[in-house]
Amino acid sequence: MTTLSASPTRMSTPARVGLHALLLFFSTIMLAPFAVMFVVSLLPNTAFLARDFSPANFSLNNYIRTFEAVPFGRYYLNSVVVSVSVTTVQILISSLAAFAFARLRFRGREAIFLFYLATLMIPFPVTLIPNFLIIKNFGWYDTYLALIVPGLFSVFSTFLLRQYYRGIPLDFDEAARMDGASSLRIWWQIIVPLSGPVLATLAIFVFQGVWNDFLWPLVVTTSENMRTIPVGLAAFVGQYSTAWDLLMAGSVIALLPVLVIYVLGQKWFVQGIALSGMGGR
């Protein structure tokens, strides 16, 4: 991403003020839900419903009650275990396959890759039900395996990395082969280090997709101990449909760590998400 200073024309002062006003307006809309979430999470329900914002009402009580009512710690652990393992293993597996598709010469390569590409268009709902049945058949229902294993194989990641790997000059490989390096060594010591930035952005992209995924964990988990954050949060809504104080506290608990990480590493997040745009082109 190029620097932002290289913009077309300088602006006049009134235009600048107008632009800031517009951008601030958008900022308010984007931030208001977070602000409401936070404020309501500090108030008793009755005080919020009466719109009584006197300072005496504010407290962290709701957070204590929420933690007592819902095992958010466990949801967090599940989300971390699932997201980290899916992200790392998916990228490893995809990188290996992408390396072969881009740089090894074997019979059937193009045909298999075409087969991969043909499935890129298939939407998730088509595979949802059979995958649920497959998972049940394996005896993985309501386990980490159900949450993790189907996520390890991504045609999109493979495709994206293959495109990138094709851009690296083949001379690198051949020189290494002269020195007696194996393919595995070339992959791990030449290709992977050269693709650091693309791996990092892909990792963020995959991670945030898995972290926020809702439908699949909803379908394959049932016990409270296996819920990820989004599913746990949704179940929480079912139990406390109008207890706004608890719901908002729960939402803040679910969001805060991610938002903090995002603010600290926003450049990577933005690139990671924009990467899907690059993949499409």
Partner 1 sequence: MTPLSPSHRPFRWRPDQQWEGYLFILPSFAGFLVFIVLAVVMSLGISFSEWGLTGFKNFAGLLNYRQLLRDPVFWQTFWNTAFYIVTIVPLQLALGLIMAVGLNQAIRGVTVYRLIYFMPVVTTIVAGAIVFRLLLATNGPVNNLLAAAFGLLGLPFSAPNWLGSSDFSKWSVVILTLWKNTGFTMVVYLAALQGVPKELYDAAHTDGANAWQRFRNVTLPLISPTTFFLFIFQMIGAFQLFTEPFVMTSGGPANSSLSVVQYIYLAAFRDIRMDKAAAMAWVLFIFIFAFTLFQNRMQKRWVHYESE
Partner 2 sequence: MKLKRTLLLGALLLVSVLILSACTGIAPQAAAPSAGGEQVAAGEPVTITWAFWGSPEEAASHKIVADAFMAEHPEIKIEIWNQPWNDYFTKIQALWASGDSKVIPDVAFLWPTPRYAAEGVLENLDPFIEASGYDLNDYWPGLLESAKYEGSVYGFPRDIEVNVIYYNKDMFDAAGVAYPTDDWTWDDFLAAAEALTQKDANGMTTVYALAAEGGKWAKWVNQNNGAILDDYVNPSKCMLTDPASVGGVQFFADLMDQGYAMRPADLSQAGGDAAVFSSGQAAMILQNTSRVSAFNAAGMNYDVVPPPIPADGKRHNGAGGAAWVMSSGSDNKDAAWTFIQWLQSDGGGETIYTERGEIFPALQSVANSPAFMTDQPPANKQGIITEAAASDVGNFGYFPEWGELDGSIIGPGLEKIWAGEIDPETGLADICAQVDQFLADNGYPK
**39 to 48, 178, 279: CA distances (angstroms):** 9, 65, 40
Helix (H, G, I), strand (E, B) or coil at 85: helix
Which stretch, 22-30, 54-62, 64-72, 195-203, contacts partner 1 (CB under 8 A)?
A: 22-30
**226 to 133, 153, 181, 230: CA distances (angstroms):** 18, 21, 44, 12
- 153's contact among partner 2, partner 1, none, with CB below 5 to 8 A by partner kind, is partner 1
Cα separation, 117 vs 184, whole angstroms: 25
- Give 54 or 106: the residue with its C-beta nearer to partner 1: 106
Helix (H, G, I), strand (E, B) or coil at 60: coil
- 136's contact among partner 1, partner 2, none, with CB below 5 to 8 A by partner kind, is partner 2
Q: Which of residues 245-264 bind partner 1 (CB under 8 A)?
A: 247-248, 250-251, 254-255, 258-259, 262-263
- Give 60 or 237: the residue with its C-beta nearer to partner 1: 237
User: Using CB under 8 A, which of 6, 56, 111, 178 touches partner 1?
Assistant: 6
- 14's contact among partner 1, partner 2, none, with CB below 5 to 8 A by partner kind, is none
- 131's contact among partner 2, partner 1, none, with CB below 5 to 8 A by partner kind, is partner 1
Cα separation, 158 vs 39, whole angstroms: 44
Q: Which of residues 112-171 bind partner 1 (CB under 8 A)?
A: 112-114, 116-117, 119, 121-134, 149-150, 152-153, 155, 158-159, 162-163, 166, 169-170
Cα separation, 101 vs 91, whole angstroms: 15
Kindly state the tokens that stand for 190.
């030449």
For 179, other C-beta atoms within 10 Å of its C-beta total 7
223 binds partner 1 (CB under 8 A): no
